[in-house]
Amino acid sequence: MKQLYISLFAVGLMFTAGCKKELYKDPIGLITPEQVSTDPTLNTVVSSVDASYRMLSYTLNLMGNWDWSGGKVIRPDVILQDIAGGDVLKKWNPDGDQPWMDDIAGFRFTSENGGFNGVWAFNYQGISKANLALSYLTDEALIAKIGMEATLRSRLLGEAYFLRAYYYFDLVNNFGDVPIITKPLKTFNEAYEVARTVPQSQAWALINDDLSKAKAALPATKFSSTAEKWRVSKGAVVALQAKVALYNQKWTEVIALVTELEGMGMYTLNANYFDNFNVSKEFNDNEVIFAYDHISGQTVRKGNGISALLDWGFFAPSADFLNAFETNDPRLAYTVNVTDKNVNKLLGSLNGANKGNDDGPSNKIMIRMADVLLWKAEAYNENNAYVNAITIINNIRRRARTSPTAAGGIAPIGTLPDRSVAVTNKAQIKSWLMQERRVELGFEGQRLNDLKRWKTAKTVLTALGKNFQDHNYLYPVPQGEVDKSGKAIVQNPGY
């Protein structure tokens, strides 16, 4: 089963015509070039799925050697979401380091900004890996030859379909219409054929189809593998289905899917808010549904490199973000320690542990139950079920105020009082929900997407002094991709 594995990110979707060996530079993940280009073994097929996770991580230099200007030192989610969304500043102390981040922060960027190149490259490399895994797992002759057990095959299929859907979900929300690739490419001609923009409706259809296949393939258990709890679970699939419905304003579908997830009996709010992020509680809490498993000291690095950036002064809270917290809200100190300049959520500690560790152990949380429940509250509000919406918001607030404080005490009586369930003003309830999402999910890569889907980005961000324009609801496609494709990949309007 020989096939030429051409990664579709290359320098994006088009390719440099250098030595073929360059196409196999790290981060191929757990697969060696020799394994890819020769007949796969059972281990190769399993490893191809494991490698499909890699582009979700904050591991340093997966895409190149300190390519800051290309946006590839670290996956740039925190820059494109939290910094652009006004919750995060590039650094605690302003300086001229990495000005491309400042351009994104102020919406002064061009289509050549490295941040967009980075997220494009990370996602298409992830898709390329997932496509390779799926090509193996759907090859009946190969599966028979390597003797893969049916249950293992089904689980791996579910993981790969989910991961491909996740990468496309991120692409569509950042760029809108994007190229669609669903198989490994064997020739450069095939690469050129698929390097063209298609309507985002096709991406949404693929996402939904992949998630349906993933849901059917995965076991109905909290962990799809008890030995490797980091793997995609059926719960993660249902949650992402609900998020897709949310972003497409299918409110009744959101409610049904979140209700289905709750009915599995696998996820609840942790009693302690910080248990979601605490390194010592990873995969032993009740709330996290999907996270990237950063592990220190692996021979193929899997650590969290964002810990190193935090020691270099990156990623500080904005004053507007700090002011958004109500008095005595325990979540503020759990999110960030302003005095010591520690972003506790990203470090996975409350004492500065892991800060400066370029191979840190703290997981990257992608989906957790509080986020999901707030989707349901939003959908209830849109469907005029106001009491149901407010009840969920109050449950989130109750967990926050009853969590022990970061200092080990108890929040004063009167902290985060319940919202009145007698309110029937949809706009008022939505403002409560927006506030709750901001303080509950700060530094978790949700902010700008929330502002965009609420259609409040221009109002909110211009009030913060940002140069947000109507066309900024979509980011620009990396200009290099447009140029190399002969404009078959179409630039977004306004760029």
Q: At a CB cut-off of 8 Å and minimum separation 6, what does 351 contact?
A: none
Whole-angstrom distance, CA of residue 441 vs CA of residue 102: 23
Helix (H) or strand (E) holding 358: none
Whole-angstrom distance, CA of residue 97 vs CA of residue 105: 13
CATH number of the domain residue 95 falls in: 1.25.40.390
* Tokens, residue 444: 């978790």
- 289-299: per-residue pLDDT in tens? 999 999 999 99
Contact 439, 390 (CB under 8 A): no
388 with 443, same domain: the answer is: yes
pLDDT of residue 23: 32
pLDDT of residue 57: 98
* Tokens, residue 152: 């293992």
Strand extents, DSSP E, 82-203: 88-91
CA distances (Å), origin 177, targets 100, 197, 489: 24, 6, 9
* Tokens, residue 300: 């193929």
Beta-strand pair 364-368/288-292? antiparallel
Q: Quickly count: other Cβ atoms within 10 Å of residue 468's Cβ.
A: 22
| 11, pLDDT greater than 50 | no
Q: Report the percentage of the chain scoring pLDDT > 90.
A: 89
| 434, pLDDT greater than 90 | yes
Q: Quickly count: other Cβ atoms within 10 Å of residue 186's Cβ.
A: 13
Q: What is the mean pLDDT of residues 126-130?
A: 97
**The residue type at 474:** L
Q: What is the mean pLDDT of the chain?
A: 92
Q: 283's torsion region: left (phi>0), alpha (psi -120 to 50) or beta?
A: left
Q: At a CB cut-off of 8 Å and minimum separation 6, what does 64 contact?
A: 70, 72, 73
Q: Which of 472, 473, 395, 464 is nearest to 433 (CA)?
A: 395
- 216-246: per-residue pLDDT in tens? 999 999 999 999 999 999 999 999 999 999 9
Q: What is the mean pLDDT of residues 45-62?
A: 97
| 29, pLDDT greater than 60 | no
211 with 269, same domain: the answer is: no
Q: What is the mean pLDDT of residues 335-359?
A: 98
- Name the band, by pLDDT with cuts 50, 70 and 90, for residue 191: confident
Q: Look at residue 390 and tell me if it is in a domain.
A: yes
- Name the band, by pLDDT with cuts 50, 70 and 90, for residue 263: very high
Q: Name the residue with higher pLDDT: 3 or 209.
A: 209
Q: Treating both helix axes as pointing N-terminal to C-terminal, what angle do 386-402 and 426-440 enclose, rounded to 10 degrees?
A: 30
Q: Look at residue 336 and tell me if it is in a domain.
A: no
Cis peptide before 179 (omega within 30 of 0): no
Contact 244, 212 (CB under 8 A): no
Q: What is the mean pLDDT of residues 265-284?
A: 98
| 427, pLDDT greater than 90 | yes
What is the residue range of 276's domain?
219-296+365-469
- Name the band, by pLDDT with cuts 50, 70 and 90, for residue 185: confident
377 with 459, same domain: the answer is: yes
Q: Which of 266, 9, 277 is nearest to 119 (CA)?
A: 9
pLDDT of residue 38: 66
375 with 229, same domain: the answer is: yes
Burial group, residue 395, by CB count within 10 angstroms (0-12, 13-18, 19+):
middle
105 with 156, same domain: the answer is: yes
155 with 255, same domain: the answer is: no
* Tokens, residue 219: 């076991």
CA distances (Å), origin 202, targets 19, 40, 126, 168, 445: 34, 31, 19, 11, 25
34 with 166, same domain: the answer is: yes
Q: Name the residue with higher pLDDT: 484 or 460.
A: 460
Q: Look at residue 421 and tell me if it is in a domain.
A: yes
| 18, pLDDT greater than 60 | no
Last residue of a domain, one of 218, 247, 275: 218
pTM score > 0.85 for this model? Answer: yes
Question: What total number of domains does the chain contain?
Answer: 2
Q: Look at residue 55 and tell me if it is in a domain.
A: yes
Length of the chain: 495
188 with 286, same domain: the answer is: no
